Amino acid sequence: MSRILVFANQQGDGLSSGAKEALAFGSRLASSTGGEVRSVTLGPFAETGAKEAIASGASIAYTISNPLLAEYDVELFVNSIHTVFQQSGADILILSFDKMGKDLVGRLATRNCASAITEVVDFHTSNDKLTLVRPIYGDKAYGEYTTTRSKVVVGIRQKSQELAEFDETATGEIIPVDYSPSEEIIVTKLVVKIQSALSDIRLEDASIIVSGGRGIEGAEGFNMLQTLANLLGGTVGASRAACDAGWVPSNLQVGQTGAVVAPDLYIAVGISGASQHLAGITNAKTVVAINTDVEAPIYKRANIGVVADYKTVIPALTEKLKKVLI
């Protein structure tokens, strides 16, 4: 298995951080198997993305520049990537297991009669056999997976890969692919975008996250966390319990089934530290926990623990920081 295709998803006019990780994983795999990495970018900025993919290790970059691909549409994206997967003759399709990847992996695997292996962080190769590695049991162990199918779709766990060096002098071929979807196959149309996140900073890209859990006891408490996050130049996250309660939008969820983050500082406020939550903060550098329960499991992961009511700690910390930072 050495023909590798990476879906290099774009964010604005640049590659997403997940796409860069997928390319880094693909390049590592290619060096180990003697193969080469190809990429596919979609939408009006596909060519810019293709150049970036070449600078990140792709030797051939396929583009589909159709304006209908400007916004994410699952049907159109599956069709487009499937078209390129077939045309490229690749046997491995790699994509970030970010929100979009979670939507695409299973569908692309089904469409291509391929295996789907998700949350992949590493691989081994031996005698031309590829073994993919992913965390299991809420990150307490690693599982190794091989496939008997001739094709595999691999979802790369977010924040698990060191990025490849960006080489602007790298050369490669850009191949435009003709795929002209008709408007009729678009069954769901984006009508209006509503700002639902509390901040412009994506959780996955944030270097400081102030995250709240069930201990926050309601949506109003999150205003306090937001003030602190703004002061620190960070963003707000949440546990699943807080999202399920409707106190914050679900795209703020951190954890196994939410965003996998890697901030320099993660402040967990009123979060118990269930394994599914901790799975999302494995790569956080410093974790500060604020919790009334000294026995809360979050203290096992935290570098700094404050056993107290957040309603006392957060305003006091915010006032102190205002004096220092403003």
Q: What does the binding site for ligand FAD look like in residue numbers (CB under 6 A)?
A: 213-215, 239-242, 253, 255-258, 270-272, 274, 276-277, 280, 290-293, 296, 309-311
Minimum distance, C-beta of residue 29 to ligand FAD, in the bound complex (Å): 28
Minimum distance, C-beta of residue 143 to ligand FAD, in the bound complex (Å): 16
Q: Which is nearer to ligand FAD, 85 or 310 (CB)?
A: 310
Minimum distance, C-beta of residue 23 to ligand FAD, in the bound complex (Å): 26
| CA-based nearest residue to 6, from 239, 227, 128, 172 | 172
SS (H, E, C) 134-161: EEECCCCEEEEECCCCCCEEEEECCCCC
For 29, the token pair is: 């795999």
Q: Which is nearer to ligand FAD, 53 or 288 (CB)?
A: 288
Residues 107, 189: Cα–Cα separation, whole Å: 19
Residues 261, 255: Cα–Cα separation, whole Å: 8
Q: What one-character DSSP code corresponds to residue 203?
A: G
Q: Which is nearer to ligand FAD, 57 or 270 (CB)?
A: 270
Minimum distance, C-beta of residue 117 to ligand FAD, in the bound complex (Å): 18
Minimum distance, C-beta of residue 93 to ligand FAD, in the bound complex (Å): 25
Cβ-contact 277, 254 below 8 angstroms? yes
Cβ-contact 40, 49 below 8 angstroms? no
Task: Mention every residue, 6+ apart, whose C-beta is less than 8 A from residue 126.
Answer: none
Q: Which is nearer to ligand FAD, 105 or 242 (CB)?
A: 242
Q: Which is nearer to ligand FAD, 53 or 269 (CB)?
A: 269
Minimum distance, C-beta of residue 297 to ligand FAD, in the bound complex (Å): 8
Residues 166, 115: Cα–Cα separation, whole Å: 31
Q: Which is nearer to ligand FAD, 92 or 241 (CB)?
A: 241
